Structure 1
């Protein structure tokens, strides 16, 4: 691969370079044929301190890819690139057949007059995968779809038998009730003690199955809530570590909601309702690869997933039942793989969100999953907990402190300690709208997605404190979402609070081809917002506060940049007072 070259544009003295041209495995349907997405990273080679109109790209430039039969069917667009900055654009091409693999392509940049102002060759062609095979070196090429990158925000749903006891001591997961009841099986365990005092020593975990009634479950109501909350996808827990599934597991086991308890296939209800009523909301599924006490998992057991029947927590000489268990030969071949394939092929999940890892045949499952979706014209994704070839990483109750080049999604409960409903948590401790929004914005500014969990009760209700907090966050996204959805991170990263400078508020940055958003976490004071960074803002650009009042949202704000590059945006208290949670300022680049 040739080193990046540089070129001067006709519209300015800016020096633009192609840092990277990557032929992805992502595609779009163009005239019913798959067209490949090529991700181009561009840079302005001038140092940051030279920022001016003359050293910046300030007009629309189109980016195309040529060579060896390649045709650009949709060029990338670049409107602004200032010294020291970078930008990523997608170019959609055809003609990258297998016969072109390993050959070189050229990236061409044209100004708004159609003149070629930069040509950068030597980028190796890697064509789309026509058929996915169960080989790690093939599957590792797979990556998250464009829709996932644009979505940014999803809802996680932990719901099951554990939603009836709904208890965990502070700092632990309520959905781990069955495990914590048995580990340790004595008074040193808060769960063991709670169970003894609340249910008595003769009640075992499986006795809770009839209490999981789902009598108030309403798929439409759930989806309406997620939609109003601003979420663009959901991930539904189909089976947790207790082995109780919320879908028809056929002849692998009858430990599911179709045969036991409510006698309903909740996964089918949710997926079909989403397809029919919320076609733009993407559908995902969580699946635990191991099961704590499945007798057939003992062959593969490890750590907190040993397999084998549980000993009664109050009488160690007794074994507890594994209700619904069927005789099978092998847990992986006869239970795990068929269930995963049903979720992928029968229920048409778009996100295979596994948990725990351990022994698996994910390579085989992934290949069938990808081919099935591809044949339907869909693009799907798989996380890093399935045991092989992940598309994205999943930090749990944690985020990263800086921009990540690899795709990632942070997941955590609205409850500060639990995914499943925990009645011991006071609702005042739930993440409020401010926490949700600022966490989301922070993650998006670092190239990630946010998967926020709710835990319905055993009747199938998402309780009011959780629902209300989701709706409050959705209100902010209603008027500020254009600074979140379908954005990219800004390469210069964030601004954090500086001690003794109240005007220098913590802020995050997101970009689009035609704008940059500054999202402040504190309400601006003294009539101004101060950003101590050299933003890509130039004379003629307009700044607007994202506001629930359309008149204020359409009012241009005054701004200035000092000699050190510090940006000051003038904004009155009357303009900011009705904004909650975070203050998003959109810088719209002037068209020249």
Structure 2
């Protein structure tokens, strides 16, 4: 909103088309503020974008805020339109009329501004699978039930389960052991905030079909009806909303379920949708809490997603796997509903339709991406879910997490770092320690992470990464410079007379460098 008007952000890229060979001459730089507007038969600008600096061959992106000139929820970009750039005196520097534009649709959404600026979030994989908390090295422990049935006789999973629990112990026998006796919603949200995260995403239902919220009468396979009989989504969201209101709240939701018979007609691949058979005696295993006669897509999947959207007011719908879905139907309700409440919401590319961002998993892009993306991976280098086999020294170090975050942000991405609590709901000390170390770094250097954009001329130079804001340019070294000197072998938007500040140096460090702050 701009004042009392609902405004739309129109992103405009402005380039200095002069060749990079002229970068050494400040006369060819844009050094004084320029103001950008967009006006058409459908929109008028209410807040201009501001450009402070562009070096030759560089580009910067600005957001122009505009309001519709015609009433109605759906407004069309285009028609008679123009982009105008003026200087501080109001003189037109450049104007481009009849700008080619794209139709804006109520079923096509950009990422919210808060998500673009947030950069860093916490993923939480927690559920019944956290009780055994075990998996073969290099595998996801949250897939415990699947590995047990899919790996076959005498596999590592098969042997481990038999030796630890016995051949007659089925996966659903873990449900009463999912006590969450150490879960403290307030402690969790304060930890996330102190880690420097701006949002979190809680696994509300994984592929085993066990939910952490009140599933009403769609199914009773949930922590609200079974086990601890608590609504953990409600508890965590309420704590975040009241104690850390700046921390955005998101929900992971698995679209299919491995062994739910209601999903049988929609089954595929590793999600067949039929009851599991014991890997030891071939007997059918129960699907505890299931209510028979439900249409999986309409009465379970869509019902759950709508509940998370409306009853719990999730801001992020982080789907997994995809497959058969009713996502378009969901989105047609969710987006207008959230907008009517003044909330900006977002959905990933795994919901099956209308993706707003890509989701590489335990991987990241090696170069700048124009589209928004988010890497997710665990502090555990092999698993999202808690794995009791992982030694404290094997978890990703704070230094590794920070350098990964910097690299991702420099390439226009977000970083969703996962923790795996135990079945009791404890976030173990090695994870806590690393999160707090990351938070300590972000406390003094976060201005080069939050709210930044990428550097058009390249995200990196050797062990250096670049980010920018409208008024600053950040040079981040991923390793300590040798001989106390950082050498940047790349043209960057820095001019004689600019001041350089060493973030995190403290007042003593800043005074120490005072004489050398001018470029």
Larger deviation, residues 518-527 vs 115-124: 115-124
What residue is the counterpart of 2:222 in the other structure? 256
What residue is the counterpart of 1:558 in the other structure? 516
How is 1:60-209 mapped onto 2 (pairs within 5 angstroms)? 60-68=33-41, 70-97=43-70, 101-124=77-100, 132=106, 139=107, 141-187=108-154, 189-209=155-175
What residue is the counterpart of 1:353 in the other structure? 318
SS at match of 2:302: helix
User: Quick one: distance in 1 between partners of 2:165 and 2:49?
Assistant: 63
Larger deviation, residues 62-71 vs 528-537: 62-71
What residue is the counterpart of 2:20 in the other structure? 48
What residue is the counterpart of 1:589 in the other structure? none
1:322 and 2:314 aligned: no
Classify 1:101/1:536 alpha carbon distance in 2 versus 1 (closer, same or farther; 3 Å). closer
User: Quick one: distance in 2 between partners of 1:241 and 1:217?
Assistant: 22
1:559 is displaced (CA, Å) by 7.4
1:543 is displaced (CA, Å) by 0.8
SS at match of 1:490: coil
Larger deviation, residues 445-454 vs 95-104: 95-104
User: Quick one: distance in 2 between partners of 1:557 and 1:474?
Assistant: 30
User: Quick one: distance in 2 between partners of 1:106 and 1:255?
Assistant: 56
User: Quick one: distance in 1 between partners of 2:394 and 2:337?
Assistant: 43
Kept in 2: contact 1:444–1:510 (CA 8 A): yes
User: Quick one: distance in 2 between partners of 1:47 and 1:418?
Assistant: 47
TM-score (norm 2): 0.96
1:304 is displaced (CA, Å) by 0.7
1:311 and 2:277 aligned: yes
Kept in 2: contact 1:243–1:255 (CA 8 A): yes
Kept in 2: contact 1:152–1:484 (CA 8 A): yes
Kept in 2: contact 1:65–1:71 (CA 8 A): yes
What residue is the counterpart of 1:31 in the other structure? 3
User: Quick one: distance in 2 between partners of 1:397 and 1:413?
Assistant: 8
SS at match of 2:473: strand
User: Quick one: distance in 1 between partners of 2:376 and 2:233?
Assistant: 21
How is 1:408-447 mapped onto 2 (pairs within 5 angstroms)? 408-447=373-412
User: Deviations 1:340-397 (Å, cap 9, x if unpaired)?
Assistant: 1101111110000000011111100111110110110111010000111100100000
SS at match of 1:307: coil
Classify 1:79/1:176 alpha carbon distance in 2 versus 1 (closer, same or farther; 3 Å). same
User: Deviations 1:504-544 (Å, cap 9, x if unpaired)?
Assistant: xx011001111110000111121210011011111111111
Kept in 2: contact 1:175–1:419 (CA 8 A): yes
User: Quick one: distance in 2 between partners of 1:228 and 1:367?
Assistant: 36
1:299 is displaced (CA, Å) by 1.2
Q: 1:460 aligns with which of 407, 425, 431?
A: 425
Classify 1:89/1:277 alpha carbon distance in 2 versus 1 (closer, same or farther; 3 Å). same
What residue is the counterpart of 1:509 in the other structure? 466
Structure with more strand by fraction: 1
1:333 and 2:305 aligned: no
User: Quick one: distance in 2 between partners of 1:384 and 1:219?
Assistant: 29
1:115 is displaced (CA, Å) by 2.1
Kept in 1: contact 2:78–2:99 (CA 8 A): no
User: Quick one: distance in 1 between partners of 2:274 and 2:504?
Assistant: 57
Q: 2:453 aligns with which of 470, 477, 488?
A: 488
What residue is the counterpart of 2:186 in the other structure? 220
How is 1:559-578 mapped onto 2 (pairs within 5 angstroms)? none
TM-score (norm 1): 0.84
Q: Is there any run of 5+ residues in structure 2 with no aligned partner, and where?
A: none
Classify 1:384/1:553 alpha carbon distance in 2 versus 1 (closer, same or farther; 3 Å). farther
User: Quick one: distance in 1 between partners of 2:419 and 2:126?
Assistant: 9
Larger deviation, residues 120-129 vs 330-339: 120-129
User: Quick one: distance in 1 between partners of 2:399 and 2:349?
Assistant: 29
Classify 1:110/1:319 alpha carbon distance in 2 versus 1 (closer, same or farther; 3 Å). same
1:61 is displaced (CA, Å) by 1.5
Structure with more helix by fraction: 2
SS at match of 1:33: coil
Classify 1:538/1:453 alpha carbon distance in 2 versus 1 (closer, same or farther; 3 Å). same
Q: Name which structure has the greater RCO, CA cutoff 8 Å, separation 6+.
A: 2
1:480 is displaced (CA, Å) by 0.2
User: Quick one: distance in 2 between partners of 1:483 and 1:449?
Assistant: 13
Moved over 6 A (4+): none
Kept in 2: contact 1:293–1:322 (CA 8 A): yes
What residue is the counterpart of 1:16 in the other structure? none
User: Deviations 1:468-506 (Å, cap 9, x if unpaired)?
Assistant: 001001100000000000000001223343xxxxxxxx0
User: Quick one: distance in 2 between partners of 1:409 and 1:556?
Assistant: 38
1:557 is displaced (CA, Å) by 6.7
Q: Is there any run of 5+ residues in structure 1 with no aligned partner, and where?
A: 1-28, 133-138, 498-505, 561-568, 570-592
